[in-house]
Amino acid sequence: MSVVNEVKEFYSNDIVYRFDKRKRINFGVVVDSYEGSTDSDEFSILQKGQIRVWWLNSSRESVWKQNKVRLMSRIVIPGDIVRRLENGKETQRGYCKESKQYATIQIVGTDRIIERVSSERLCTVTPFDTNAAVCLGSKYGRIQGIDQKVTMQSKCGSTVEIFSSINHDIEDYWLTKRNRNYFESFYPGQEVTCTPNSLEQPSWISRSKAMKRSMQTRQRFTVQKVEPTDIEVAWYDSMSSVSLNGIKAEDIKKLHVIEPIENAHLELAERRLLKLSSSDNLIKKRNWIRKQSALHQPELHKVLHIVNKTSKKDRGPKLRRPSLLSTCVNTNEPEEGWWTEEGEEEVSDNGSSSSSTSVTRYHARHFPPKLRELVPGHTVAVEVLCTDSKATIVWQDGTEEKDVPTTQLYYSISLDDHEFFPGEWVVQEGKTDKLYGAIQYVNHLERTAAVKWFTSSEDNQKPPQLVLTNEMSVYDLRKHPKYSFRPGIVVKRIPVEEDKLGSVLDSCPEGYVVVEWIDGTQENCWPHNLELIPETIDFEYSLDDNEDSAQVSWETESIESVAGDLTDETTLQSMAARLDFVRGRVIYLKEILKQRNTSETFSLLKELLMIYDNSSYLDKLLDTSFFSLKSRHFQVLLSQIKEKAKIYGVELRGRLFSTVDNLGSSSLRTKKP
Q: What is the mean pLDDT of each run of 10 residues along the chain (673 residues)?
A: 62 93 92 70 74 89 92 94 88 94 94 95 91 91 91 96 91 86 85 94 95 94 94 80 82 90 87 94 94 81 44 46 37 40 48 43 45 80 95 97 95 85 93 88 95 83 90 94 92 89 95 94 94 73 36 34 45 60 64 54 62 66 62 63 64 49 39 39
- Rounded to the nearest 5 degrees, what angle is found at the Cα of 403, between the Cα atoms of 89 and 397? 45
- The runs of H, that is alpha helices, within 300-452 are 304-308, 322-329
Q: Where is the domain boundary, 470, 504, 532?
A: 532
Same domain, 218 and 174: yes
Residue 334's nearest CA partner among 296, 388, 284 is 284
- What integer pLDDT is reported at residue 612 of this predicted model? 65
**411 falls within a domain:** no
Same domain, 523 and 585: no
How far apart CA 15 and CA 347 sit, in angstroms, is 19
Same domain, 562 and 665: yes
How far apart CA 440 and CA 423 sit, in angstroms, is 6
- The runs of H, that is alpha helices, within 177-252 are 209-213, 249-252
Q: Where is the domain boundary, 230, 258, 286?
A: 258
Q: Considering just the CA atoms, what is the radius of gyration of the chain in Å? A: 28
β-bridge mates for residue 28, sequence order: 16, 55
Is the Cβ–Cβ distance between 574 and 613 less than 8 Å? no
Note down the domain range covering 563: 544-669
How far apart CA 68 and CA 20 sit, in angstroms, is 11
**How many of the other CB atoms lie within 10 Å of CB of 363?**
14
**406 falls within a domain:** no
Amino acid at 73: S
How far apart CA 332 and CA 22 sit, in angstroms, is 28
**How many of the other CB atoms lie within 10 Å of CB of 569?**
8
Same domain, 164 and 74: no
Same domain, 104 and 144: no
How far apart CA 512 and CA 504 sit, in angstroms, is 11
**528 falls within a domain:** yes
Using the Cα atoms of residue 18, residue 20, residue 26 and residue 29 in order, give the sign of their dihedral: negative
How far apart CA 55 and CA 164 sit, in angstroms, is 29
- Rounded to the nearest 5 degrees, what angle is found at the Cα of 503, between the Cα atoms of 497 and 508? 105
Same domain, 382 and 430: no
Residue 19's nearest CA partner among 329, 361, 293 is 293
Is the Cβ–Cβ distance between 477 and 430 less than 8 Å? no
- What integer pLDDT is reported at residue 426 of this predicted model? 95
**397 falls within a domain:** no
Q: How many residues does the chain have?
A: 673
Same domain, 551 and 650: yes
Same domain, 162 and 235: yes
β-bridge mates for residue 384, sequence order: 105
- What integer pLDDT is reported at residue 416 of this predicted model? 81
pTM flag (> 0.75) = no
Is the Cβ–Cβ distance between 518 and 135 less than 8 Å? yes
Q: Which helix (H) or strand (E) holds 465?
A: strand 465-473
**395 falls within a domain:** no
For residue 608, what are the CA distances in angstroms to 436, 582, 598, 636?
A: 46, 9, 15, 12
Residue 88 burial by Cβ neighbours in a 10 Å radius (0-12, 13-18, 19+):
exposed
338: phi then psi, degrees, rounded to nearest 5: -80, 135
Residue 451's nearest CA partner among 468, 463, 432, 431 is 468
How far apart CA 491 and CA 485 sit, in angstroms, is 8
Sheet containing 522-525, strands listed edge to edge, beginning at the edge strand earlier in sequence: 522-525, 513-517, 501-507, 490-493, 530-532
How far apart CA 57 and CA 344 sit, in angstroms, is 6
Q: Where is the domain boundary, 532, 554, 588?
A: 532
Is the Cβ–Cβ distance between 88 and 79 less than 8 Å? no
How far apart CA 209 and CA 114 sit, in angstroms, is 42
Same domain, 521 and 620: no
Same domain, 81 and 143: no
- What integer pLDDT is reported at residue 239 of this predicted model? 57
Q: Which helix (H) or strand (E) holds 76?
A: none
Same domain, 79 and 192: no
Residue 294's nearest CA partner among 284, 285, 306, 282 is 306
**268 falls within a domain:** no
Is the Cβ–Cβ distance between 2 and 276 less than 8 Å? no
How far apart CA 402 and CA 422 sit, in angstroms, is 16
**270 falls within a domain:** no
- What integer pLDDT is reported at residue 667 of this predicted model? 37
Same domain, 557 and 591: yes
How many domains does the chain contain in total?
4
324 backbone φψ class: left, alpha, beta (φ>0; ψ -120 to 50): alpha
Which residues 6+ apart lie within 8 Å of 75 measured at CB?
A: 13, 14, 265, 267, 389, 406
How far apart CA 130 and CA 532 sit, in angstroms, is 18
SS3 663: helix
**265 falls within a domain:** no
- The runs of H, that is alpha helices, within 335-448 are none
